[in-house]
């Protein structure tokens, strides 16, 4: 088993590098929150189990749905595959490390 982790001061504008059974997504994060005007604030942070948590306020999100897109130059926003959980105060999904960039937003119809 191999693991590589690190942070540098400049983002990586390139695509995911891959070869054989390995891939490397450059930049600080491969997951991004896209804040929509009037939508609840989305938060993304790393967990201790090497997954990411995408979360937002349960109370403020009535009428909003979580969407994801792999490319901001398209309009291909879809519902994420991960199950949306709630603890009564916060809604969240748990994301395994992605093999490419992924953008999230809350959208009201």
Q: Residue 74: which CATH number?
A: 2.60.40
96 or 7, higher pLDDT: 96
Instruction: Note the pLDDT tens digit of each residue in 72-95.
Output: 889 999 999 999 999 999 999 999
Residue 100 pLDDT greater than 90, yes or no? no
Contact 82, 94 (CB under 8 A): yes
Q: Which domain holds residue 47?
A: 35-107
In-domain check, residue 18: no
- CA proximity to 63, closest of 43, 25, 91: 91
In-domain check, residue 67: yes
In-domain check, residue 2: no
The stretch 56-71 carries a mean pLDDT of 91
Where b means 16+ CB within 10 Å and e means fewer, 76-97 reads: ebeeeeeeeeeeeeebbbebee
| Residue 105 pLDDT | 93
Q: What percent of the chain has pLDDT over 90?
A: 36
Residue 22 CA to residue 61 CA, distance in Å, equals 37
In-domain check, residue 8: no
Tokens found for residue 94: 């748990």
Q: How confident is the model at residue 66 (pLDDT cuts 50, 70, 90)?
A: very high
Q: Helix (H, G, I), strand (E, B), or coil: what is residue 41?
A: coil
Residue 1 pLDDT greater than 70, yes or no? no
Residue 99 pLDDT greater than 90, yes or no? no
To which H or E segment does residue 24 belong? strand 22-24
Residue 109 CA to residue 104 CA, distance in Å, equals 16
């Amino acid at each position: 088993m191999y693991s590589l982790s690190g942070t540098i001061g400049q983002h990586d504008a390139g695509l995911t590098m891959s070869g054989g059974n390995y891939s490397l997504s450059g930049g600080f994060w491969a997951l991004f929150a896209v804040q929509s005007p009037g939508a609840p604030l989305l938060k993304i942070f790393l967990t201790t189990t090497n997954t990411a948590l995408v979360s937002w306020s349960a109370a403020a999100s009535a009428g909003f749905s979580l969407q994801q897109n792999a490319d901001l130059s398209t309009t291909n926003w879809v519902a994420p595959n991960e199950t949306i959980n709630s603890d009564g105060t916060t809604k969240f999904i748990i994301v395994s490390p992605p093999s490419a960039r992924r953008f999230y937003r809350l959208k009201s119809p």
